Amino acid sequence: MLISKKMEWLTHCTKEHLNCFKKEKSIFFKKLHYPLDLRQPKTFNEKIIWKKIYDRNPLLPITADKYRVRQYIRHVLGKKQAENILIPLYVTSTNPDTIDFSVLPESYVIKTNHASQTNIFIHKNCSIDIKTIKTRLKKWLKKTYGLFNHEWSYINIKPMIIIEKLLIDNLKRLPIDFKFFIFHGKCHYIFVYTNRKEKITCSIFDTTWQQQYVAWKGIVGPQPEKPDNLTKMIEIAETLSTPFDFVRVDLYSFENNIYFSELTHYPASGHLDMQPREFDIRLGKLWKLEKNYWKKKNHPTRKIIKEL
């Protein structure tokens, strides 16, 4: 099955190359309302599309995998610091039928390691339909995420289920999601996602916590208080970004602790809705594209791959 999916993806990409990525250009224009230029990409979103097509850093599939990324974090940060920020893991499985739900705590989150938006939140005192959950998980496990969006880093991830501790406060609120945009090892902006259980909002800040008047999906978000551990979060995010020209590092600040969420290489698959467009251009200027940057002599990717 995996081999056939690879062949399907390769065939699809070959056709797309022959058509100058006609599908990508069509979706891009429809969502962002300006033409995609892959020859001389200037905006952040154009460069994400370029990265999807051309960047083959071997660490991308490892760090896109929500399970294997834990190994990467331990390697880069050291075991002690890694264990402090990794959300406790209860279960890993490739078969939902092997999961014993009776031994799990009262609240937890079920997710897959190879895809986006495949989460099931189980709250304390809520009733659960195990049969429905298993059916949904089996469906998710069959999906090859990123196949037709040219998201190469997801293609070879072996699908599995992971069950983690659910971070939630006494009012049943999920923690604020801090997304650090790191270019060439330096954080420049932080996208802050709040109200995640209902109508999610996004506010954008620089590293001094000055809010940028930038709308996400047409709305400028609220101004949450600057977290006390912001400097430490930026330090962690920049350290985790070292092997990449760009990566978004997602962290939580919850009950005065920092927790790791994920590394994201293709935010919104290159269709990140930001207005005014000047901000899209401003982000793009921070990113110097270079094919095979990770093949340079003494680049950290070589050493990390060898040691993982």
What is the average per-residue pLDDT within 43-67? 96
Structure tokens at 44: 């952040």
The pLDDT, as a whole number, for residue 290 is 95
111 burial (CB, 10 Å; 0-12 / 13-18 / 19+) is buried
DSSP character at residue 56:
-
Q: Determine if the pTM surpasses 0.85.
A: yes
Work out the percent of the chain whose per-residue pLDDT is above 70: 93
The stretch 136-150 carries a mean pLDDT of 87
Contact predicate 263/65, CB 8 Å: no
What average pLDDT does the segment 11-24 reach? 62
Can you tell me the distance from the alpha carbon of 274 to that of 235, in angstroms, rounded to the nearest whole number? 26
For the chain, what are the domain ranges? 24-58+172-308
Percent pLDDT > 90 in the chain is: 77
